[in-house]
Amino acid sequence: MPNEDVYILCYGWAVGYVRLPDGRRQILSILLAGDLFSSKLIFKETPHFAVQSLTDARFSRISRADLKARLDRNPNALGALAKVCVEEGTAADDLLIDLGRRSADERIARLILSVTERLRSRVVIREERYPFPLRQQDIADVVGLTPVHVSRVIKKFRQTGLIEWAGGSLTIVDPVGLRRIGLVD
């Protein structure tokens, strides 16, 4: 159904996803505090995906009409919006390349790297330890794999001393090694 409003995640983690009728799920984006659910929804009343929180979360609602009015009045707000759109688009393109052309190891390494990178630009990180509330099922649904395969890859990453991950918090033990796997580009 059409929706009058547009949402921003204020606190916590969430994902934007699509579920097919037979149960398959694809996560389109991982949302962190400060993210619009999608810039597309500013101009599109009927969303083509759903949003679900992974942690306690808060979001705020903005009336689309208000937002547009403010955009018209404030010309440099437009530039900011454009920037958000571009970032969202290139993130989608990056994920496309991952899903189309990269191996499971590469995809998961890159997911970890990209999320920690985004995290680092927003919150204070102490000694390479990041909050990481994604379940393995969620990771699987981002990178197009099975949760059991994700489990095996993560196990390998742990055993080779690349990462530590327990209780929703992650530390990258060997950033160089992880980048060697993920940063083919």
Q: Nearer to DNA by C-beta: 40 or 158? A: 158
Q: Verify binding: residue 136, DNA, rule CB under 7 A.
A: yes
Closest listed residue to residue 111, CA positions, set 60, 69, 46, 163: 163
Residue span binding DNA (CB under 7 A) among the ranges 12-20, 45-53, 73-81, 147-155: 147-155
Q: Verify binding: residue 114, DNA, rule CB under 7 A.
A: no
Q: To the nearest whole angstrom, how small is the minimum distance from the Cβ of residue 39 to a second copy? A: 8
Measured between alpha carbons, how far is 142 from 63 in angstroms, rounded to an integer? 29
Q: Verify binding: residue 166, a second copy, rule CB under 8 A.
A: no
Q: Verify binding: residue 55, DNA, rule CB under 7 A.
A: no
Closest listed residue to residue 36, CA positions, set 70, 10, 64: 10
Radius of gyration of the chain measured on its C-alpha atoms: 17
Q: Verify binding: residue 146, DNA, rule CB under 7 A.
A: yes
Measured between alpha carbons, how far is 55 from 10 in angstroms, rounded to an integer? 12
Total residues contacting a second copy by CB under 8 A comes to 41
First to last CA, the chain: 40
Residue span binding DNA (CB under 7 A) among the ranges 41-49, 60-68, 75-83, 150-158: 150-158
Residue span binding a second copy (CB under 8 A) among the ranges 122-130, 135-143, 164-172, 174-182: 135-143
Among 45, 66, 93, 105, binds DNA (CB under 7 A): 105
Contacts of 168 (CB under 8 A, 6+ apart): 131, 132, 133
Closest listed residue to residue 114, CA positions, set 103, 130, 100: 130
Q: Nearer to DNA by C-beta: 61 or 155? A: 155
Q: Nearer to DNA by C-beta: 53 or 151? A: 151
Tokens found for residue 143: 């990178």
Measured between alpha carbons, how far is 99 from 85 in angstroms, rounded to an integer? 21
Binding site for DNA (CB under 7 A): 103-105, 135-137, 144-149, 151-152, 154-155
